Structure formats: structure tokens, C-alpha cells
Amino acid sequence: MSISPKLALLEEYALVARALSAPARLSLLEQLAQGERGVEALAEKTGLTIANCSQHLQQLRRAGLATSRRDGKAVIYRLTDAKTLQLMDLLRIVAERNLAQVERILRGLSGGEDAPEPVSRADLAARLAEGSVTVLDVRPADEYAAGHIPGALNATLAQLEQILPRLELDAEIVAYCRGPYCVYAHQAVATLRRHGLNARRLEGGLPEWREDGRPVLIDAE
Amino acid sequence: MSISPKLALLEEYALVARALSAPARLSLLEQLAQGERGVEALAEKTGLTIANCSQHLQQLRRAGLATSRRDGKAVIYRLTDAKTLQLMDLLRIVAERNLAQVERILRGLSGGEDAPEPVSRADLAARLAEGSVTVLDVRPADEYAAGHIPGALNATLAQLEQILPRLELDAEIVAYCRGPYCVYAHQAVATLRRHGLNARRLEGGLPEWREDGRPVLIDAE
DNA sequence: CTATTATTCAATCCATCGCTTGAATGATCT
DNA sequence: AGATCATTCAAGCGATGGATTGAATAATAG
């Protein structure tokens, strides 16, 4: 270690950034943002093989973005702290602001229609209190069960058409999903609007909502 | 482009992170944080060859972290916006919090002594107003000339011993340098304290100071 | 103690990255 | 226009990273 301390520091910062530089790991972080999980569950959700998933998780741990603990024979990973979430968010913001490609993809998700501005979390909280809004959780049932906004309906994109009749035509619908890198809510809003419903996206997803200290309902098992 | 939009988005976010994953590029960003600069000047400051520097800069541009404009035959690069600075800062914070290696390096910079807490920018501003502090800019003369905190003395580490006599023994000294990844201020504080002076580091460097909207003095050419 | 389950390690292959070198482009100056 | 200067491009090399496979480790169950 005869290199300059300055370079040594930059190497360490670069290590953190490199951990964020693979889509597979961003996908894992998105899952971890929702709550701690074992390796197998993460592999399942992200479509990675177990061994590959394990290696990516170890890189996240080495970079200080995630930590792990043992629970019986399973190893449970979770985000180190809220800074990791902030880092993911900032990454997304910079990309959305400055990369034309991202704008194009997001436009595609909204089905060509110009999507309305997202609803802020504070706004949603206020309107939930007065009951003037329907909240829709567009995630798989198991993730919904592990924690969701109180009063939210749950439906995946595939189930969306079926629950349309249950939605009131006049009430505004606010859809949310996993958070930083979620695309389900975008797609759900596009579908709902095509059916003439007044739908908007929540700013951020469940992890951000929880991070704000707002109530999260966990289903009993 | 038959891959899912979700994966396409993650690829874009990963592109931004990857741009931050090489020490050479972090070094370039540190320079750019101080103000816009031409390719040659950047290559000189970072010790990269011109061609190599140019390629790194193009990666930063592709990731949306930097932008460029032409000025005569020179191409001038600058940070896209304050978000880039935030991203750099968050990267550093995560590394400092969670990586043991970083703590070790920083301890080494402080010469083994436990360094005092840095001074916040608000504190320094207040104490500058009442004149109860000496500010020391530990950067090369050209960077000092391009913008510095009003009233600050300028001395590189090498020159530090020479100006010691000019420093009052009782006044507190606050040292600062380039900012996010600066190490000069750490070293300067260590040196000054070994000489029995009451020195502390400024939180962040000149870019953060400027970003706060605080006064920056630029020397006439 | 052995079997089972969950995770990690080790070795391999292929793709990509970073750096170097030398040529090409683009704008200015005479 | 030709010369000059700053920057970029293009090709090649060595090193590193991500995915796959199969074996090794750790904790629990029988």
C-alpha cells in the first residue's frame, strides 16, 4: 500500500459506486429497500441463480450498502441505512434529468400519453385522512402482505382489469409500488387512464413512505 | 431493444454509477466541482494523458454528470448541476460510514492524533463576520486565484511551515481545500496541530461553500 | 452422527474497461 | 489556404467483472 492516501480514498469511493454499477445489484437493492430478505428469496425475485445472487450480495456488503446477519441456516440481508436509499434515489434523479434514453423509456411506459405529475407523499397522507382517494398497491401479493399503506387495495398489473369494476369512477386513484426503480405504478396508471379513470402515481414507493415515518400495515400470517 | 423497460432503466442508472466507479473520473469530478475547465488543464491537474482524460470526460458526459461547450479551439467541461455534487458527497458519506478501510486512511492522514470535529459552513460564516477566526486555503495558488473564501490565506502543504510565523497562536484556524474528496485540509490540520496551533477543518470544501450561496472572491487576472 | 438445507467458495469463460499509441477532426491565426 | 493547436477517434493490450458450474461450509433435523 505505497499509493497515496488520496488515491486510496478515491479507490474506496469508487468501490461503492461500482457496487451500484450492475443492473442485477440495483435490482437486489430495490428488493432490499422493501425489507430484509434471505438469499433464496432475493434470487427468486430477481431471477438470478442462487450462487450469482450470493456473489452480488457480497459485493453490496463489501461496499457498505448492505449488511447481513444469520438466522438459523439462512443469511438475511438488509440495507445498511437510509443513506443507501438516498444514493439509489439520487442515481435515479440524475439519470432522469440528464439522460435522454431514460425519458424515452419512461414515456414508453406511460403508453405515449403524457403522464400527470406524481402525488407527493405528504399530499397522499392528507387526502387519505379525509378519505378522498383510493390507493392502489401494484405489487405481488407477498410483498403487499409484508407491508403496505393502510387502506390500499392490492392488484398486480395482470389482475388490474379484474378489479376495475370495484373502483369508483369519480374518486382519484393513487398507485404505488416498490419504490426507487419501480415501473409497475407507471404502467398501472397508464392502464387505468386508458380506461378513463383518474389515476396518478405516488412519488416514490413503499420504502420512501416508510422512511418518512408514515404508517405501514403488516398482514398477520 | 427487446429487453424489458425495467431492465433498460436499470441499465441507465447503472451507467451513471459506472461513471463514478473509476478513481480517475472521481478525481476529474473533484476538479470540475471547483469550476469549469478545459481538457488540457484537467489532464494536467489529474496526471492523466490528454487522450485518456478526454475519454474519461466523455464517459462523464454520457452519464449526464458533466456537460461540455466549445470555446474557441478548446472544449470546456463542467458539472451538469448540483445533483452531481450531491452524488459525490453521498458516495463519500456512505464510504466513510461503512468502510473500515476509509476510516483507517483518514486516521492516517490526521497523523494518528484524533482530529477534532470539522467546523460547519454556517459556523465559519458567523465567525468570519465577527473576525474571530483565521481561514486557510490549502490549495495550489491557481485554484485559490480562481475563487476562494474572502479573507482566506493561501498556502500549499509545502508552504505551510513558512507561513507559521504569520499565524496568531491564540486565534482558531479553519482549513479548507477542494471539497468532496479533498485530503489537503486533513493534512494541514494535522501539521498545524503538531505545531501547537488550534486548527480545525471546514466541513466540505470550496464547491460546497459556493453551493450554499456564500461569498467567493475571485482574483483579477 | 448423518442427512438436509441454505449459503458461500473456487475455477472457468467471455465481455468489457482502462490505458497507450498514433492518426484524424475542428477551430483559429497568419 | 496552410499551419497550428486542442481535442477526439480508433485499434490493441492487459486486467477486471459477471455468469455458470460444481464442490465446500454451516446450521439444523432426524
SS3 string, A159-199, reads CHHHHHHHCCCCCEEEEECCCCCCCHHHHHHHHHHHCCCCE
Looking at per-residue pLDDT, the higher value among B26 and A182 belongs to B26
Q: Tens digits of per-residue pLDDT, A56-76?
A: 999 999 999 999 999 989 999
Among all strands, which nt has the closest C1' to A71 (CA)? D27
Footprint of strand C on the protein (CB under 7 A): A 38-40, 50-51, 54-55, 57-58, 68, 73-76; B 18, 21-22, 24-25, 48-49, 51-52, 55-56, 59, 70, 72-73
**pLDDT for residue A221:** 54
Residue B2: is its pLDDT beyond 60? Answer: no
**pLDDT for residue B62:** 96
Which residues in chain B touch residue A110, judged by CB atoms under 8 angstroms apart? none
Average pLDDT over residues A26-34: 96
The amino acid sitting at B142 is: D
pTM confidence score: 0.91
**pLDDT band for position A110 (cuts 50, 70, 90):** confident
Cell 392528507 sits on residue: A126
Q: Tens digits of per-residue pLDDT, A159-213?
A: 998 888 888 777 899 999 998 898 999 999 999 998 888 999 999 999 999 999 9
A84 touches chain B (CB under 8 A): yes
Residue A148: is its pLDDT beyond 60? Answer: yes
Residue A2: is its pLDDT beyond 50? Answer: no
Average pLDDT over residues B35-43: 95
Burial class (CB in 10 A: 0-12, 13-18, 19+), A134: buried
Could B181 and A16 be called an inter-chain contact, meaning their C-beta atoms sit closer than 8 Å?
Answer: no
d(CA B34, CA B147): 8
Among all strands, which nt has the closest C1' to A72 (CA)? D27
Percent of chain A having pLDDT more than 70?
A: 97
Min Cα distance A129 → chain B (Å) is 33
List the catalytic residues of A: 177
Residue A23: is its pLDDT beyond 60? Answer: yes
**pLDDT for residue A199:** 92
**pLDDT for residue B173:** 93
Residue A164 CB partners (closer than 8 Å, separation 6+): A192, A195, A197
B residues 49-68 closer than 8 Å to A (CB) = 63-65
What is the spatial distance, in angstroms and rounded to an integer, between the CA atom of A39 and the C1' atom of D23?
A: 19
B93 touches chain A (CB under 8 A): yes
What is the spatial distance, in angstroms and rounded to an integer, between the CA atom of A20 and the C1' atom of C19?
A: 23
Residue ranges and CATH numbers for the domains of chain B are: 5-83 (1.10.10.10), 100-211 (3.40.250.10)
Residue B166: is its pLDDT beyond 70? Answer: yes
Percent of chain B having pLDDT more than 70?
A: 97
Q: Which of B2, B3, B7, B9 to mutate to test binding with chain A, by most A CBs within 10 Å of its CB?
A: B9
The amino acid sitting at B181 is: Y
Percent of chain B having pLDDT more than 90?
A: 78
Bases of chain C within 7 A of a CB of the protein: 5-10, 17-23, 26-29
Average pLDDT over residues B40-50: 95
Which residues in chain B touch residue A92, judged by CB atoms under 8 angstroms apart? 13
Residue A1: is its pLDDT beyond 50? Answer: no
What is the spatial distance, in angstroms and rounded to an integer, between the CA atom of B71 and the C1' atom of C25?
A: 16
Residue B115: is its pLDDT beyond 50? Answer: yes
**pLDDT for residue A174:** 95
**pLDDT band for position A3 (cuts 50, 70, 90):** low
Are B77 and B84 a contacting pair, CB within 8 Å? no
B177 is catalytic: yes
Are A197 and A173 a contacting pair, CB within 8 Å? yes
What is the spatial distance, in angstroms and rounded to an integer, between the CA atom of B98 and the C1' atom of D14?
A: 32
DSSP assignment of B101-165 = HHHHHHHHHTTTSPPPPPBPHHHHHHHHHTT-EEEEE-S-HHHHHT-B-TT-EE--TTTHHHHGG
Give the start-end residues of each E strand in B21-124.
37-38, 66-71, 74-79
